[in-house]
């Protein structure tokens, strides 16, 4: 990998600015936790696992800022920082999973503020490191599902840029290619934020993975012509019944795949599964500002005064999902059962 999405370096959180890609590769060196929260809110960093990891590192920074306070006061103030991070974006549950991990740890007994701060830092570093390992093992589980030779369509960016490294959906593709499979990625442009064209195409080119960019409305055309052998996407939150929230437009792709008998895979770590949501209707969907719809690359493309809507995610019903690929294996329908089973054997992973 030629880039790092987010890292901790010399007491600072280094964040690759994804809003500037593909034109410019620029890293922010944040030394204030508020700036890290802002980077999630404004989508300088985005993608469900990446925002979980970034929040963890941002909270380690928040603890560092509270180091001179008496321990009980620091622990109390830390809760405010947790709340701030929880208010950045509502849909990706990995964010709340990471916050809950640090919050629970913070409330444990420590001798001194220094010990408390060090424990939170170590936990954040562990979350960062484990995210890469999880993506790699998810890739190993998913690779056998990929065709030996063919075109795989993806929507949005579920790659190294959306995680601490390797990626979920793109991680499966990377692992399959490492196993000598001959894959070619069709990347949906992903209006309105263009994660497909700006980020997926960029990231795959960095790794010399063959990629063809298409606009969102072309997917059906290529499926009908028999040019797509599989679809693989990431997820922002998966309900206990397998209903999956992912980038707006994913649902349409899933319906199209179903109509053309093309397997539709979701690749996500277990931290993306929210067993407290029994089905997709309970997943909060972020509404973003309308400028993203009215404008394209800063240019107004709609008449002034027209109404618009901008939900950032949609929910793909479980019935359209061929399999959910996790770091612990491939889950199949009925998802209520397979998800419950993996949670029972792994213990209470979802600490939200």
Active site residues per annotation: 236
> What are the backbone dihedrals phi and psi of residue 7, each rounded to the nearest 5 degrees, phi first?
-145, 170
Nearest residue to ligand MRU on Cβ basis: 234
For the chain, give me the number of helices (H) and strands (E)?
Answer: 11, 16
Rule CB under 6 A: say whether 235 interacts with ligand MRU: yes
Write out the binding residues for ligand MRU, residues 295-314 only, by CB under 6 A: 312
- C-alpha 322/C-alpha 303 separation (Å) is 41
List the beta strands (DSSP E) in 178-322: 182-188, 211-214, 230-233, 237-239, 244-247, 264-267, 273-274, 295-296, 299-300, 313-316
Write out the binding residues for ligand MRU, residues 166-195 only, by CB under 6 A: 168, 195
Per-residue burial over 274-286, b = 16 or more CB atoms within 10 Å of its CB, e = otherwise: bbebeebeebebe
Rule CB under 6 A: say whether 46 interacts with ligand MRU: yes
Rule CB under 6 A: say whether 247 interacts with ligand MRU: yes
Rule CB under 6 A: say whether 338 interacts with ligand MRU: no
Q: Which of 56, 57, 152, 158 binds ligand MRU (CB under 6 A)?
A: 158
Hunting for tokens 């400028």 — which residue is that?
291
Indicate if the alpha-carbon torsion angle 116, 9, 234, 312 is positive or negative: positive
Rule CB under 6 A: say whether 236 interacts with ligand MRU: yes
The nearest distance, CB 51 to ligand MRU, in angstroms, is 7
The nearest distance, CB 250 to ligand MRU, in angstroms, is 7
Cβ closest to ligand MRU, residue 143 vs residue 158: 158
The nearest distance, CB 352 to ligand MRU, in angstroms, is 16
Cβ closest to ligand MRU, residue 154 vs residue 258: 154
Rule CB under 6 A: say whether 21 interacts with ligand MRU: no
Bridging pattern class, strands 230-233 and 149-154? parallel
The nearest distance, CB 187 to ligand MRU, in angstroms, is 12
The nearest distance, CB 72 to ligand MRU, in angstroms, is 36
* C-beta of residue 114 within 8 angstroms of C-beta of residue 67: yes
Question: How far apart are the two ends of the chain, measured CA to CA in Å?
Answer: 31
Chain centroid offset of residue 97 CA: 12
Rule CB under 6 A: say whether 48 interacts with ligand MRU: yes
Binding residues for ligand MRU (CB under 6 A): 46-49, 92, 156, 158, 162-163, 168, 195, 234-236, 246-247, 312
């Amino acid at each position: 990998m030629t880039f790092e999405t987010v890292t901790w370096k010399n007491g600072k959180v280094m964040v690759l600015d994804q809003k500037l890609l593909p034109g410019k590769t620029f890293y922010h060196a944040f030394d204030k936790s508020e700036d890290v929260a802002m980077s999630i809110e404004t989508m300088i960093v985005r993608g469900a696992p990446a925002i979980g990891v970034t929040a963890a590192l941002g909270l380690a920074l928040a603890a560092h800022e509270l180091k001179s306070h008496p321990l009980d006061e620091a622990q109390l103030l830390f809760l405010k920082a947790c709340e701030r991070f929880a208010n950045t974006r509502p849909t990706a549950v990995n964010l709340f999973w990471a916050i809950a991990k640090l919050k629970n740890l913070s409330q444990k007994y420590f001798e001194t503020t220094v010990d408390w701060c060090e424990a939170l830092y170590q936990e954040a570093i562990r979350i960062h490191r484990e995210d890469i390992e999880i993506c790699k093992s998810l890739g190993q589980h998913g690779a056998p599902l990929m065709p030996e030779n063919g075109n795989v369509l993806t929507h949005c960016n579920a790659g190294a840029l959306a995680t601490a490294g390797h990626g979920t959906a793109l991680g499966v593709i990377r692992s399959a290619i490492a196993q000598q499979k001959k894959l070619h990625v069709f990347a949906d442009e992903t209006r309105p934020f263009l994660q497909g064209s700006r980020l997926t195409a960029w990231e795959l080119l960095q790794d010399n993975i063959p990629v063809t960019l298409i606009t969102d409305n072309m997917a059906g055309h290529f499926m009908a012509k028999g040019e797509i052998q599989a679809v693989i996407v990431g997820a922002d939150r998966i309900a206990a019944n397998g209903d999956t929230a992912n980038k707006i437009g994913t649902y349409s792709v899933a319906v199209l795949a179903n109509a053309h008998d093309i397997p539709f895979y979701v690749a996500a770590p277990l931290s993306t599964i929210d067993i407290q949501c029994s089905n997709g209707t309970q997943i909060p969907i972020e509404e973003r500002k309308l400028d993203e719809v009215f404008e394209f690359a800063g240019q107004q493309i709609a008449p002034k005064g027209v109404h618009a809507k901008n939900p950032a995610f949609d929910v793909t019903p479980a019935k359209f999902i061929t399999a959910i690929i996790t770091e612990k294996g491939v889950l199949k329908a009925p998802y209520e059962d397979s998800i419950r089973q993996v949670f029972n054997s792994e213990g209470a992973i979802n600490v939200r």
